[in-house]
Amino acid sequence: MKILVIDDDKQVNKLVYSMLSNEKNEVLQAFDGVQGLEILKESPDIDLIITDIIMPEKEGIEIIRDVKKNHPKLKIIAISGGGRIGAHSYLNLAKSLGADQILEKPFSKKELISLIDSILK
């Protein structure tokens, strides 16, 4: 499976990369939304996007809108550790805009793998 991880927090990005690459997936990394959408243009065969919500340049909400408009079948998991209004508010908005699943940081490898399995069946 080909997975694109978009998160400006380098530690979170690397952690998700290591969680998923150990599962024999091809994992691509982007450290902001603009870079993430560029990678998607170059690799249209991506199966899943995991995106943070709060990021500079282009936020996860914008990524979800763009992806669902141009690639409606592409699966998206939105992740967030919160911000000024808390993770639940951001994640609920992401879900209402088309994210297939949401996950609050911090999360375990088991939680992430289970969520991926549930949406890609």
CATH number at residue 38: 3.40.50.2300
Q: What does the pLDDT look like over 28-47, one tens digit per residue?
A: 999 999 999 999 999 999 99
The residue range of the domain holding 53 is 2-119
pLDDT per position as a tens digit, 68-100: 999 999 999 999 987 666 667 889 999 999 999
Report the predicted TM-score, pTM, of the whole model to 2 decimal places.
0.95
Dihedral sign of CA atoms 102, 37, 31, 59 in order: negative
* Number of structural domains in the chain: 1
Contacts with 45 (C-beta within 8 Å, 6 or more apart), sequence order: 2
Number of other CB atoms surrounding residue 34 within 10 Å: 16
CA–CA gap between residue 121 and residue 112 (Å, rounded): 14
Distance CA(65)–CA(51), nearest Å, equals 12
Please check the confidence at residue 22 and state whether its pLDDT lies above 80. no
Give percent of the chain above pLDDT 90: 85
